[in-house]
């Protein structure tokens, strides 16, 4: 896609020239260092760079990006207090604890780094900071140094609305959940305040009553606070997919909400993968008829038990459907390095009709005409990437926002279905057949095809997502550091254009 021309820069806005081009204004970015958060932030970087902005990426040492893959950006490392051997934990409660520890450790080093960058760039050269909404301390620092901020949330608009509703859900008694077992009785109960969610679709991060549950609650509250101190919210979704949810957010937040998704359709493909993508599966896909291959991936964090792995494997084998399966190192809980992840005999049983990779070029795989279905953990990026390629989904959500995403896939967009309960090879086989070869699956594929068209309209000329990106560029061209810093985290008021322009304009 050809990006629109870069906005004209006022003389003296920046001293930074790139390859003799006109001076660029600087957009500062800070992603949360997990794959599902890094990818959309780097796509946003690509969009902004193509619109004429210089991009400075602040990043943790943990899961640091590789600057050599993005020579056009400046990278500023921020100490995060983590050891160089740190990895993403397998339990979601531990991921939450890791995020809280990481963000706390970053605050002081980021203050020094940001102050140094602001000293270095000419006055008014810095447009704004766009940070992941999970990084509240980063927003606090930026605000105290008078840098306007925008919050990027990498989940759906519906998930964001659910985050906003979290305190009310506690007040009304939907939460806390006293241990996951008590959910069994009430898990199908509708939560009428946030339809179409049921209790089981809520963001339940562990047992909400223990210390870790408290941390989860803290994480959600911080994500909301980051949004509220910002000049606007950026979401990787599109109007035709989540119009009522977007309207609800605009009303409840009373701030600009920019639906720029699917963001990967705007940005030049830049590789922000933490793991090396195995591209050999694309050639293999060329040999299969249209919509015949099942793509299986559980994203970058979700883990399964050894039993689930075995039942999934034998169910896929029994279905007779060709497949590409991403078996990420460490994906099976409790496995040791070099341990055989797949059951004995599986490769022989599926020889010639299956490919295993440790990490796939997912967007390209989903775009390939050979792919007819996606077995997914229902991460938001995976859901968006599937929807906008017209690929129906078999959902096996694991934690966080994934249950809610699966609910929308099955109940609202009707482009897939959830496989719930205990996995066994029989129900896996039946689910795969339903998606790939049954009439039911074909109807879901047809509806996904409609969403693909709708996504293309939103990202096309004059489409809602294109307009949102225009607004974002406009904001970047006009936002200014304030003359006096805010105290604490008082919200930037988009209605005071003298200090910061309104994104609505
Ligand atoms: N991804 C990939 N190769 C893989 C599996 C995933 O490139 O083999 C990418 C995928 O395209 C998506 C991201 O990793 O952009 C995963 O994000 P998502 O929100 O779906 O899930 P998470 O990993 O955050 O749980």
Percentages helix, strand, coil for the chain (3-state, rounded to 5) are: 45, 15, 45
CB of 297 within 6 A of ligand 1: the answer is yes
Q: How far is the CA of 328 from the centre of ligand 1 (A)?
A: 11
CB of 33 within 6 A of ligand 1: the answer is no
**Whole-number Å distance between alpha carbons of 49 and 56:** 10
**Whole-number Å distance between alpha carbons of 383 and 363:** 11
Q: How far is the CA of 421 from the centre of ligand 1 (A)?
A: 24
| pLDDT at residue 2 in the model | 34
Report which of 294, 284, 255, 230 is spatially closest to residue 491, judged by C-alpha positions.
Answer: 230
Helix (H, G, I), strand (E, B) or coil at 9: coil
**Whole-number Å distance between alpha carbons of 131 and 233:** 10
| pLDDT at residue 313 in the model | 98
Rounding to the nearest 10 degrees, give the CA dihedral for residues 160, 166, 169, 170. 170
| pLDDT at residue 484 in the model | 62
Mutation pick for ligand 1 pocket among 42, 46, 264, 299 (CB with most ligand atoms within 8 Å) = 299
Q: Please, what's the b/e burial string for 127-150 (b: 16 or more CB within 10 A of its CB; e: otherwise)?
A: bbbbbbbbbbbbbbbbbebbbbbb
Domain ranges of the chain: 26-271+462-497, 280-458
Measured by CA distance, the residue closest to atom 1 of ligand 1 is 362
Q: How far is the CA of 12 from the centre of ligand 1 (A)?
A: 41
Catalytic residue set = 37, 132
| pLDDT at residue 340 in the model | 79
Mutation pick for ligand 1 pocket among 99, 300, 323 (CB with most ligand atoms within 8 Å) = 300
Per-residue pLDDT of 167-222, as tens digits, reads 898 888 887 765 544 444 478 889 999 999 998 898 866 555 566 668 888 999 99
H or E element at residue 185: helix 183-186
| pLDDT at residue 489 in the model | 36
Report which of 398, 453, 93 is spatially closest to residue 238, judged by C-alpha positions.
Answer: 453
Per-residue pLDDT of 25-41, as tens digits, reads 999 999 999 999 999 99
| 421 in Cβ contact with 479 (< 8 Å) | no
Atom of ligand 1 nearest to the CA of 378: 20
Measured by CA distance, the residue closest to atom 9 of ligand 1 is 362
Beta-strand pair 74-78/233-235: unpaired
Measured by CA distance, the residue closest to atom 15 of ligand 1 is 381
Per-residue pLDDT of 398-434, as tens digits, reads 988 999 999 999 999 999 999 999 999 999 999 999 9
- Give the gyration radius of the chain's Cα atoms: 23
| pLDDT at residue 122 in the model | 83
- Token representation of residue 131: 């940070």
CB of 272 within 6 A of ligand 1: the answer is no
| pLDDT at residue 86 in the model | 84
Per-residue pLDDT of 30-73, as tens digits, reads 999 999 999 999 999 999 999 999 999 999 999 999 999 999 99
Domains 26-271+462-497 and 280-458 share a fold: yes
Q: How far is the CA of 112 from the centre of ligand 1 (A)?
A: 32
Q: Which CATH class is domain 26-271+462-497?
A: alpha beta
Count of beta carbons in the 10 Å neighbourhood of residue 283: 9
CATH superfamily of 280-458: Glycogen Phosphorylase B; (3.40.50.2000)
**Tokens 């694991």 sit at which residue?**
398
Rounding to the nearest 10 degrees, give the CA dihedral for residues 215, 208, 83, 337. -160
Give me the chain's average pLDDT, please.
88
Report which of 234, 304, 314 is spatially closest to residue 37, judged by C-alpha positions.
Answer: 234
| pLDDT at residue 435 in the model | 98
| HEC per residue, 247-288 | HHHHHHHCCCEEECCCHHHCCCCCCCCCCCCCCHHHHHHHCC
Class of residue 351 by CB neighbours under 10 A (exposed 0-12, middle 13-18, buried 19+): exposed
| pLDDT at residue 130 in the model | 98
Helix (H, G, I), strand (E, B) or coil at 11: coil
| pLDDT at residue 485 in the model | 55
Alpha helices in 292-438 (DSSP H): 306-319, 346-350, 362-367, 380-387, 402-407, 425-436
Ranges of residues in the chain whose predicted pLDDT is under 50: 1-18, 180-185, 487-499, 504-505
Q: How far is the CA of 416 from the centre of ligand 1 (A)?
A: 18
Mutation pick for ligand 1 pocket among 205, 381, 385, 402 (CB with most ligand atoms within 8 Å) = 381
CB of 401 within 6 A of ligand 1: the answer is no
| HEC per residue, 451-480 | HHHHHHHHHCCCCHHHHHHHHHHHHHHHCC
């Amino acid at each position: 896609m050809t990006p629109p021309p870069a906005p004209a820069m006022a003389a003296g806005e920046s001293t930074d020239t790139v390859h003799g081009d006109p001076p660029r204004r600087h957009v500062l970015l800070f992603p949360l260092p997990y794959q599902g958060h890094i990818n959309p932030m780097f796509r946003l970087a690509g969009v902004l760079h193509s619109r004429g902005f210089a991009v400075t990426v602040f990043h943790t040492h943990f899961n640091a990006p590789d600057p050599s893959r993005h020579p056009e950006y400046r990278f500023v490392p921020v100490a995060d207090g983590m050891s160089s051997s740190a990895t993403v934990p397998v339990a979601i409660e531990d991921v939450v604890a890791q995020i809280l520890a990481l963000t706390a450790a970053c605050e002081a080093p980021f203050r020094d780094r940001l102050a140094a960058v602001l000293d270095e760039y000419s006055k008014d050269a810095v447009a704004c900071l766009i940070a992941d909404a999970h990084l509240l301390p980063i927003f606090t620092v930026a605000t105290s140094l008078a840098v306007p901020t925008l919050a990027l949330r990498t989940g759906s608009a519906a998930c964001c609305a659910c985050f906003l509703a979290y305190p009310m859900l506690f007040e009304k008694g939907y939460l806390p959940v006293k241990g996951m077992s008590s959910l069994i009785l009430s898990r199908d109960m509708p939560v009428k305040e946030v339809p179409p969610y049921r209790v089981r679709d809520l963001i339940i991060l562990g047992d909400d009553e223990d210390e870790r549950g408290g941390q989860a609650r803290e994480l959600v509250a911080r994500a909301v606070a980051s949004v509220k101190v910002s000049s606007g919210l950026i979401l990787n979704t599109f109007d035709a997919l989540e119009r009522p949810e977007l309207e609800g957010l605009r009303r409840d937040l009373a701030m600009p909400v920019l639906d720029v998704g699917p963001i990967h359709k705007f940005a030049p493909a830049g590789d922000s993968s933490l793991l090396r993508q195995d591209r050999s599966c694309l050639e293999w896909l060329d040999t299969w008829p249209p919509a015949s291959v099942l793509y299986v991936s559980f994203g970058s964090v979700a883990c399964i038990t050894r039993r689930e792995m075995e039942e999934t494997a034998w169910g896929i084998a029994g279905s007779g459907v060709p497949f590409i399966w991403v078996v990420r190192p460490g994906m099976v809980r409790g496995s040791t390095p070099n341990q055989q992840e797949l059951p004995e005999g599986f490769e022989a049983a599926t020889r010639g009709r299956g490919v295993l990779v440790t990490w796939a070029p997912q967007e390209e795989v989903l775009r390939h005409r050979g792919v007819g279905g996606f077995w997914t953990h229902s991460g938001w990026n995976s859901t968006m990437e599937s929807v906008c390629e017209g690929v129906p989904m078999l959902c096996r959500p694991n934690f966080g926002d994934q249950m809610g995403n699966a609910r929308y896939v099955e109940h609202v967009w009707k482009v897939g279905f959830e496989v719930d309960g205990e996995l066994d090879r029989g129900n896996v086989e039946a689910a795969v057949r339903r998606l790939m070869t049954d009439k039911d699956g074909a109807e879901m594929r047809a509806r996904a095809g409609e969403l693909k068209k709708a996504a293309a309209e939103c990202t096309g000329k004059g489409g809602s997502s294109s307009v949102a990106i225009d607004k974002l560029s406009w904001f970047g061209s006009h936002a200014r550091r304030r003359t006096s810093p805010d105290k604490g985290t008082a919200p930037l008021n988009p209605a005071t254009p003298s200090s910061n322009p309104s994104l609505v304009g």
